[in-house]
Structure 1
Amino acid sequence: MNKPISITSFASISALGSNPNTIWSNYLLPQHFLSKKNNAWVAQLSLEDKKKIEKIRLSDNKYKNLDETVLYALLVARKAVQEAGWNGNDNFGINIGSSRGATSLFEKYHKEFLEKGISSTLSSPTTTLGNISSWIAHDLQSNGPEISHSITCSTGLHSLLNGVAWLQSGLTDKFLVGASEASLTDFTIAQMQALKVYSNEKDEIPCKAFDLEKKKNTMVLGEGAATFCLEAGAKEDAIAKIEGIGYATEILEHNTSVSTNADCFQKSMKMALGNYSPDEIDAVIMHAPGTIKGDISEVNAIKNVFCNKLPFLTTNKWKLGHTFGASGLLSLELAVLMLQHQQAIEVPFAKPQEHPKKLSKILVNAVGFGGNAVSVLVTK
């Protein structure tokens, strides 16, 4: 990277809550935040946070027909921008992505079409992928570029890559990046179950992400959104800095999986490290979806990159589920919180590790179907 990028604020909503203090407190608890929906394990927003989302829906007549992916993003975008002190007069860009997009509305409108043979007037404009960023720009009254995309489960970190590229180019000096998922529909869960990756666990912890000895897949879906305010250069008020980015793809062995040693992760992590020695990295927030092959292949990649001196490894999916496109940015949030509080969050059922004495450099990983890997190096 030509110059560091400052993170000046962030906001999120997930099963862990929507307030940074609450979220950190929930990370400190040795429990998950998964629950049952129609007999399937999921990670849902709390009733309190759902009321906040409904309040946004009712706040403007134009918002009443929006998908929850947009409403989740509106909530966290407002909070992040306010915390950063930005306003509509600032020339900041927006890139909010989503893996699944307007899942609930798309399924609703398609069902209506099958039953009635006609399509609702708003079926197209409310289900297009660009719907999220354009509504956030409207809500914030911003003037910069608006970008939306879907790169499956690495969507959120690809949003960050785009933001960094714009900032490095000098075309703008501020960028709001994020991702949003509201995919806890019966059809989406059924799709994951059809892949034979979904959790049927009946014991205390349903999602065994980073348990390398598990005998079956234990992925659990979650919902949520996260946004980060990025600014070019090293700002005095920065809460963390992005000092490295990496990305890679690999030749597909299967529609849903990466290679045995996750070649894409090896490439993306090495690129993100840049001139830093692997020995300087204190922790890695893994993608670790809770599947047998997904977890093991990522650990194999980390071992190949870091050799004999592994950093502290952790993941948050056993707590808040796999939030598809938003997962990478929720992992970045965990990294920033760990840097702020100088405390590593462990996975209680994984093999015990020595906690780092200090946390100054953390690597964050995300990968999507097709081996679209991204790694981000965040520093204190």
Structure 2
Amino acid sequence: MTEGRVAITGIGVTAPGAVGTKNFWSLLSDGRTATRRISFFDPSDFRSQCAAEVDFDPEQAGLTPQETRRMDRAAQFAVVTAREAAADSGLPFSDVDPYRIGVTIGSAVGATTGLDWEYRTVSDGGRLKLVDHEYAVPHLYNYFVPSSFTAEVAGALGAQGPSTVVSTGCTSGLDAVGHATELIREGSADVMIAGATDAPISPITVACFDAIKATTPRNQDPEHASRPFDGTRSGFVLGEGAAVFVLEDLESARSRGAHVYAEIAGYASRCNAYHMTGLRSDGREMAEAIRVAIDEARMAPERIDYVNAHGSGTKQNDRHETAAFKRSLGEHAYRVPVSSIKSMVGHSLGAIGSIEVAASALAIEHDVVPPTANLHTSDPECDLDYVPLAAREHPTDAVLSVGSGFGGFQSAMVLTSPERSGA
């Protein structure tokens, strides 16, 4: 593996309440929430009836009728967001060897929305045991294989290099970007289009999380239902969306005069090999991922200026990662600002890790730490600086972003400002 440094030169975001990177940052820096009562279907029969939905119009987003017909909602998010990232990067893709441009897309649940809708269609609302496939969308096969997400993005941008799908639950978005970074470092690609997408707001997904009581029943106040680290929290709010990046070798990006949002300085992933949904209280596995990511970035823990937390809003997770921060950062954990953007945009499963990487890069860009919205009541077991309610101006040259996923996955990434780090 080479010692190459990898830069983010393009960002695209499709998030609840904010389609487009500029709108996304405006929502975060204003501390606005995008959670509401589910509108995609009647949620009255469910325990949790709120979600963070994207107001997304495929036509307005630039998709043709054929593209809209062919692609599941999550694939549509991925393509539109990748096109934004490509345009933002200013990279002349036509001048790059297409075999040196790769794609890595993360997703936890694939084409859930499309599959749910198509089953209802071919089964006549679930009334037919023997379904009629002729009523299905012609491209139904694409819904069954998440690799179609990567294929669609590669086709949209003419990328013919290494192309993969990463599906590690709720760490998929971090892991996809981490994998793409490693492909550039090892010399397998010059440019990577990397990120994640998920559109899980469907009856089947809501029912699954209802069954394990992971999502909040705070239906009377959906705008303030997502409450990471708050003593009154009662579960997470389901979300959807996508974030995609253009990654390049840092020196190559500088030589063409590209704007560099951040350098991906360190990345690591671990698994607790413990329980599908349970977390050890001491946060050891997440702490180990954080330690390795910081070591790879060749910095001391005290240099971390901001921690973008997983912060799902479940008591188990919030206490688990609080313990992990203390274990990995030591006394610095009590001084560094920590926040969760899930308080504003919900938990979009596999996509959220990439959305949080976007928030981390933009925090470096603007020297502003996004807030943890809806944090009013302290939890004695969550006793760090969680930046409640309002964004905070703060010199931000190094950000730690972490994720935790079903199956025991724990991932961490360090982003830095190469211009201000002295490197």
Q: Work out whether the TM-score is over 0.5.
A: yes
Q: Which amino acid aligns with 2:17?
A: L
TM-aligned CA deviation for residue 242 of structure 1: 0.8
Could you say which residue in structure 2 is the equivalent of 1:285? 308
Residue 334 in 1 paired to residue 387 in 2?
A: no
Q: Which residue, out of 362, 365, 369, partners 2:399? A: 362
Deviation per CA, 1:41-80: give whole Å up to 9, x if none.
100112xxx22x2446861525413100111111011111
Residue 316 in 1 paired to residue 337 in 2?
A: no
Q: Which residue, out of 324, 343, 346, partners 2:371? A: 346
TM-aligned CA deviation for residue 142 of structure 1: 2.2
TM-aligned CA deviation for residue 224 of structure 1: 0.3
SS at match of 1:172: coil
Contact 1:89 1:142 in 2 (8 A): no
Could you say which residue in structure 1 is the equivalent of 2:327? 304
Residue 376 in 1 paired to residue 423 in 2?
A: no
Could you say which residue in structure 2 is the equivalent of 1:271? 292
Residues 186-335 of structure 1 aligned to structure 2 (within 5 Å): 186-201=203-218, 202-203=220-221, 205-211=224-230, 213-214=231-232, 217-234=234-251, 235-236=253-254, 237=258, 238-252=260-274, 254-274=275-295, 275-310=298-333, 311-335=336-360
Could you say which residue in structure 1 is the equivalent of 2:382? none
Deviates more, 1:345-354 or 1:220-229: 345-354
Deviates more, 1:193-202 or 1:290-299: 193-202
TM-aligned CA deviation for residue 360 of structure 1: 0.5
Distance 2:25 2:61 in 1: 25
Could you say which residue in structure 1 is the equivalent of 2:76? 71
Contact 1:174 1:229 in 2 (8 A): yes
Contact 2:286 2:412 in 1 (8 A): yes
Q: How many residues were matched structurally? A: 373
Deviates more, 1:345-354 or 1:161-170: 345-354
Distance 1:141 1:309 in 2: 45
Could you say which residue in structure 2 is the equivalent of 1:6? 7
Q: Which amino acid aligns with 1:7?
A: I
* Unmatched segments (≥5 aa) in structure 1: none
Change (3 A) 1:125 1:19: closer
Deviation per CA, 1:175-233: give whole Å up to 9, x if none.
0101111111111111111111111123461011122x23x532101110110111123
Deviation per CA, 1:269-297: give whole Å up to 9, x if none.
00110131111111110111111101110
Could you say which residue in structure 1 is the equivalent of 2:421? none
* Unmatched segments (≥5 aa) in structure 2: 379-384, 418-423
Q: Which amino acid aligns with 2:148?
A: N
What TM-score do you get using the length of structure 2 for normalisation?
A: 0.83
Contact 1:210 1:314 in 2 (8 A): no
SS at match of 1:126: helix
Q: Which amino acid aligns with 1:210?
A: F
Residue 87 in 1 paired to residue 93 in 2?
A: yes
Q: Which amino acid aligns with 1:160?
A: V
Residues 86-105 of structure 1 aligned to structure 2 (within 5 Å): 86-88=92-94, 90=96, 91-105=100-114
TM-aligned CA deviation for residue 255 of structure 1: 1.9
Q: Which amino acid aligns with 1:95?
A: T
SS at match of 2:290: helix
TM-aligned CA deviation for residue 36 of structure 1: 0.3
What TM-score do you get using the length of structure 1 for normalisation?
A: 0.92
Change (3 A) 1:193 1:283: same
Deviation per CA, 1:120-162: give whole Å up to 9, x if none.
4533233211010101112222221221131110111111121
Contact 1:130 1:149 in 2 (8 A): no
Change (3 A) 1:63 1:141: farther
Q: Which amino acid aligns with 1:220?
A: V
Deviates more, 1:360-369 or 1:124-133: 124-133
Distance 1:30 1:93 in 2: 35
Q: Sequence identity, in percent?
A: 22
